[in-house]
Amino acid sequence: MKSMQHEKENRVPLYAVIDTNVLVSAFLKENSIPRFVINYMYAGKIIPIYNEEIISEYFAVLSRPKFCFPKEAVNIAVNAIQKIGLKMDGINVEETIPDPKDIVFYAVTLDARQRFESYLITGNTKHFPAKTFVLTPRQILDIVERLNL
């Protein structure tokens, strides 16, 4: 019989594309649901999926003067995503996405979903097609907690 500890060690993490607004919210508020999502990412419970365009957007948005985020903190966060995450290209998107800058997040999620179960985590679900894999930070936390990852 396997021990509970052994079973937890063998659990598969969740894979997700993390929209920039989740990172911004995590930086802005320490005890927030988006920060808990990022903490789960650092703990290996959520594996981020990205491509170069997403990484560029992370750096550009998090480095905006209006946020005053420390450059070192931005570099640590974005470099961690690249180090622990999976890089994917993205695929052609057929659906209409209101903001062209959001297409890359959806395209990379669709690419990942062709290979394994994955999600798009965003604070703006209405900016994307209504799909079961487009989740708010609260919804992904509920999944992580339900699966006891």
Residue 149 binned pLDDT confidence (cut-offs 50, 70, 90): confident
Give the chain's mean pLDDT: 92
Q: Cβ(18)–Cβ(80) under 8 Å? A: no
pLDDT in tens, 103-128: 999 999 999 999 999 999 999 999 99
d(CA 107, CA 118): 12
Contact status, residue 46 vs residue 13, Cβ threshold 8 Å: yes
Tokens for 124, please give them: 């703006």
Residue owning tokens 């969740």: 14
For tokens 């690419």, what's the residue? 111
Q: What is the three-class DSSP state of 87?
A: strand
Question: pLDDT of 44-100, one tens digit each?
Answer: 999 999 999 999 999 999 999 999 999 999 999 999 999 999 999 999 999 999 889
